[in-house]
Amino acid sequence: MHVRTMSAAECDALLERVRLGRLACSMDGKPYVVPFHFAYADGRLYAFSLPGKKIDIMRSNPQVCVLIEEPGTDRDWKSVVVDGFFEELEDRIGSKHLRERAWSLLSKHAEWWEPGAQKPATGSEGPRHGPVFFSIHIEQLSGREARDTKMR
């Protein structure tokens, strides 16, 4: 197997192709990782969720990390790691244009809202308030690609 560093352009291309990532955040020294759907543009990952644990954690500590993978076989894969910070896109002056941008990008995909709007049944507890649009502003990214070098 040969592993190489991907260029910034290759990382961008992967972020544009893939819509599912793993979002890592942390509070009080405890990491929390969840899958999330996103759209990539303007140096940001845009996403949507109902209020819950990940939103609470990111509001408390906006520093996050995201892993985006494009799997192949066990010996062929690509991955990008994004370091960045959470920004809530509220429906108010100053954030409204980014919130509308997020909605525009996410809505290009069928049933874009469904993963973020689905919450596991937990009895009578419902959402604490409406949907949360947010972005991950990319501070740094890096990518790796592995290729199988064995003869097939």
pLDDT digits (tens, 9 = 90+) for 125-143: 444 567 888 999 999 999 9
Q: Is residue 89 part of a domain?
A: yes
Q: Check residue 109 and give its pLDDT.
A: 60
| Tens of pLDDT, residues 24-44 | 999 999 999 999 999 999 899
Q: Is residue 35 part of a domain?
A: yes
Domain hosting residue 34, numbered range = 2-147
Q: Is the pLDDT of residue 145 over 50?
A: yes
Q: Check residue 96 and give its pLDDT.
A: 65
State how far the alpha carbon of 117 is from the alpha carbons of 15, 16, 50, 145, in Å.
Answer: 22, 22, 6, 33
User: Could you give the number of structural domains in the chain?
Assistant: 1
Q: Check residue 90 and give its pLDDT.
A: 76
- Position 37: which residue type? H
Q: Is residue 58 part of a domain?
A: yes
| Tens of pLDDT, residues 63-101 | 999 999 998 877 899 999 999 999 998 766 666 667 677
Q: Is residue 152 part of a domain?
A: no
Q: Check residue 113 and give its pLDDT.
A: 45
Q: What is the mean pLDDT of residues 140-148?
A: 94
Domain containing residue 126: CATH number: 2.30.110.10
Q: How far apart are CA 136 and CA 40, in angstroms?
A: 10
Q: Is residue 95 part of a domain?
A: yes
Q: Check residue 124 and give its pLDDT.
A: 40
Q: Is residue 115 part of a domain?
A: yes
| Residues 145, 77 contacting (CB under 8 angstroms) | yes
pTM (2 decimals)?
Answer: 0.80
What residues are paired with 133 via a beta bridge? Answer: 48
